[in-house]
Each structure stands twice: as structure tokens, then as C-alpha cells.
Amino acid sequence: MTRAEKIEKFLKEEIKLKHIDLLDYINGENVNSFDDIFQQVEEQGGFNVEIIYYYKAMEYLMENDTSLQNSMQLAADFGYSPEDINSELLASLLASQYSMEELYKCEHEITEFFNTLDNEEE
């Protein structure tokens, strides 16, 4: 099995993310670290989760931010004014932020995988 195949197998079988299928953004030949993975996903818009339809947006917000504090803060951080905000925007911003955080939570596991892979190849 090639290095690229090992990387792709690991990402497919061991790293389960709610909003992102890493293999949609990653080619095992072009990554050698967590930072490479994060950068490729980010460059290709993989963290841009779009939640459309009022019902789905409201459902997502009710499950993840009932007070709307987190999503409203994200909207403010991105420069949105109150008249520009709606449930779809808030849900999408929040889901995008959570998807980025979700990948960060796997940083240690991914780094350990690459360290093991590098040691095997020496």
C-alpha cells in the first residue's frame, strides 16, 4: 500500500466529521501533516457549510445555539449588521465554525498518525 493510500484509508476510516468528508478535499499524495490537511480543506471551501431553508436552519440553531449568543457573535465578528442577519445565515456561520473546530479536535490523532507513518518509512 502506498503512502497516499495509507493516508486516504486513515482519513476515511478513522476521522469521522459531521459536516466534512475529508476525502472530498484531500489527495493523499499532497499532505504530510495536519496543517496540510487543514489548509487544503480551507482553501477549497470545505469549512463553508451552508444550511438552507428556514426550518433546517431553525432546527440546527435550536440544537446547537438556543440562546443565539454564539451565532450572533460570529455574525458580528464577520461584520454583519442586525438587518442582514437571518436564521440561515446564523446556522451556516455556526456550522462552519463547528466544522473547523471539529477538525481541530482531531489534530492530535492526525499528527500521531503522520508521526507513526514517518517512523515506519525510516
Distances from the Cα of 13 to the Cα of 57, 71, 88, angstroms = 29, 31, 31
Average pLDDT value over all residues in the chain: 93
Handedness of CA 35, 112, 100, 17 (dihedral sign): positive
Q: Where are the domains of the chain?
A: 3-121
44-69 pLDDT tens trace: 999 999 999 999 999 999 999 999 99
Interval 77-121: pLDDT, tens: 999 999 999 999 999 999 999 999 999 999 999 999 999 998 887
